[in-house]
Amino acid sequence: MAPYRIFALKYAGPLVGPAMMLMWMRDLDRTAERAYYIWCIRGGGHDTGGTADMSRTVVVDAGISPQKAAERDLAGYVSPVEMLSRLDVDASAVRHVVLTHLHWDHVNGARLFPRATFYVQEREYRFWRDHPLAGRPPLRHVSDPQTYRFLGSLEGSSRLVLHDGDAELMPGIRCLLSPGHTLGLQTVAVETERGTAVVGSDCAHVFGNYREDWPSSVIMNMLDWLETYDRIRSVASSPDLLFPGHDPVMTSGYPTVAEDVTRLA
């Protein structure tokens, strides 16, 4: 089996905000930049310049719609549809979208993928759709009830797959239950030419979370977080193959293949 390649696609930012958001209970008097991404995993073929093989193309997270970007006044926004087109990937033809977790900035763009099957952890899905605490103010701030209703309309069809723990998506790509940031976040382990990489989404917001063994301030369970870090470190072939969710370095520190699109591995 040929190895996969992982691309980071920046759909918004950089935004400047409190550094404490990125490092729990630290840097209270500082600011820091963050960016917003989706990721594309591709098997075979070339980086750009050819039609993607949809059977071996996986989009990780859905970003947000133009309507939500306007509502949130999200600086530097470019639709995930446009970002994927820079990799010659047609969002309307994408068949596999992994939703790492159901915060608004990772799930709102689900309707941009009209043919996709969505893969999400069942405990994540059930919490945000059904749990009474999900409507309390701190959680409502990061939620997206309208998109949860859309996913609910797919329940029972082939377009929504609910994982109960770890699951193989296809040979060379695994979804790993990785709670902490949310109750049912899943990371994505990918076999690349450099070894096993982990697309961690918001398991870490920036690389410093992994390096310093320190979470961001947006976390639901510290003990789960610590166990998750131990686990995904054991899965990744090297520490530099653990990729976070919002670090601007993913735009500037890796080979550029198109505007705001970089190859991570």
Q: Answer whether residue 262 shows pLDDT above 90.
A: yes
Residue 153 is classified by DSSP as: H
Is there a contact between 229 and 244 (Cβ–Cβ < 8 Å)?
A: no
Residue 79: how many other CB atoms lie within 10 Å: 17
Q: What is the pLDDT of residues 142-158, one digit of tens each?
A: 999 999 999 999 999 99
- Is 48's pLDDT higher than 70? no
Identify the weakest region by mean pLDDT among 43-57, 64-78, 234-248: 43-57
CA distances from 179 to 55, 65, 83, 148 (A): 28, 26, 28, 19
Tell me how far CA of residue 122 lies from CA of 67, 150, 183, in angstroms. Answer: 27, 15, 10
- The DSSP symbol for 88 reads T
Amino acid at 96: H
List of domains in the chain: 4-167+246-263 (3.60.15.10)
Say if residue 197's pLDDT is above 60: yes
The partner residues of 34 in beta bridges, in order of sequence, read 15
Identify the pLDDT of residue 45: 55
Query: 28 pLDDT band (50/70/90 cuts)?
Result: confident
Q: Mean pLDDT throughout 37-53?
A: 73
